[in-house]
Structure 1
Amino acid sequence: MKARKLWVALLAASGFAMPAGAAEFISVGGFSYHFERDLGHNEFNYGLGYERDVNEEWTWSAGVYKNSLRRASFYGLANWYPLNLGAGFRAGLTGGLMTGYHESPVIATLMPTLEWRGEVLALQSYVVPTIKPYVDGAVVLQFKFAFR
């Protein structure tokens, strides 16, 4: 319970340190396609999250979703996009902490990321590496909607 209160306080405080014109998004989860097809994973991963730009290269995000093991996963992530590919696409890395997976109450993650942003809709794709016994690898597609 103390850890949850700390996360909430940190997220609230970080909102005050962001530029006033920063883009904000609500994510609703998405889909995953696992490399090991015979493990019976849940590949419809609905959820609810929040993402906010720090600057042109950095964003942070936090939320909850139903993971591939059919458990609730909470996450806090930083997204770094050093490569602007044009036409709304950018690429980089996403790292942070997640809950709800094998063998550990909290896991650290670092994933290659590709994002496309339109006026209202954004799509974000991650490649989750297989790290046994903790995580089964997958390609993930997440849907985000701008609200500012």
Structure 2
Amino acid sequence: MKTSATVSKNIHVPLMLAALMALGVTSKVSAAEICSDGLWADAMIGSYHVHPKKHFDQFNPGIGVECWVSPQWALTGGYFRNSLTAPSFYGGGVWAPEFAHWGYVRLAAMGGLISGYDYGKWGIGHGHKLGPVLAPVIMAEYGRIGANIILIPPIPSSDLPFTLGFQLRVRFW
């Protein structure tokens, strides 16, 4: 019988491998060529849950990466400790259209897969702990520093309400 820790590791391994392959560097292609419009490190800081009568962990440390393959498209992936104090891994894409860009601020949409929650019928894998996410993002950047505010939709099967996630960003190139 598998323990929940073993099942959790088994779910995260394919997601981590997919993120590494998406951002992977082969002997013929460098990361600078793949991420030609910038490589950012994201530090997940915390969250705010729109639910006054239930307790969630608002401190959600984690680390991630954004690989901008064009001015409007990025690959993203990372890890954080979620609001239920479980490990979460994510991977997907970011679309930041030029028409939603004003000076230092732009609107974007992030979509992909995230682990660590009970997704019920929408979940993938054992225990339905891997599921889809589509979220609007407010991105601000000035030079090599920035911040993201992500509006994460509710996950009813985990009893999670709308949540605002907060990330700090640092650009490597």
Give the ranges of 4+ consecutive aligned residues of structure 1 lying more than 4 Å apart after TM superposition.
Answer: 13-20
Contact persistence 2:15–2:90 (CA under 8 A): no
CA distance in 1, matches of 2:16, 2:136: 30
Residue aligning to 1:143: 168
1:85 equivalent to 2:101? Answer yes
Taking structure 1 as the reference length, the TM-score comes to 0.87
Query: Unaligned regions of 5+ residues in structure 2, if any?
Result: 1-9, 120-127
Secondary structure of residue in 2 paired with 1:39:
coil
Task: Note the aligned Cα RMSD (angstroms).
Answer: 2.3
CA apart distance, 1:20: 6.0
Spell out, residue by residue over 1:67-125, the C-alpha distance to the aligned partner (whole angstroms, 9 max, x if none).
11111100002110113332211112110000001242101000111101111211111
Larger Rg computed on CA atoms: 2
1:72 equivalent to 2:87? Answer yes
CA distance in 2, matches of 1:6, 1:33: 30
Greater Cα shift, 114-123 or 76-85 = 76-85
CA distance in 2, matches of 1:50, 1:5: 12
Contact persistence 2:152–2:164 (CA under 8 A): yes
Matching residue's letter, 2:145: L
**1:51-130 correspondence runs (5 A):** 51-82=66-97, 83-103=99-119, 104-130=128-154
CA distance in 1, matches of 2:162, 2:132: 14
Matching residue's letter, 2:169: K
CA distance in 1, matches of 2:76, 2:35: 17
Query: Unaligned regions of 5+ residues in structure 1, if any?
Result: none
Secondary structure of residue in 1 paired with 2:23:
helix
**What is the aligned residue count?**
148
Q: Which has the higher helix share?
A: 2
- Alignment identity in percent? 24
Taking structure 2 as the reference length, the TM-score comes to 0.75
Matching residue's letter, 1:44: F
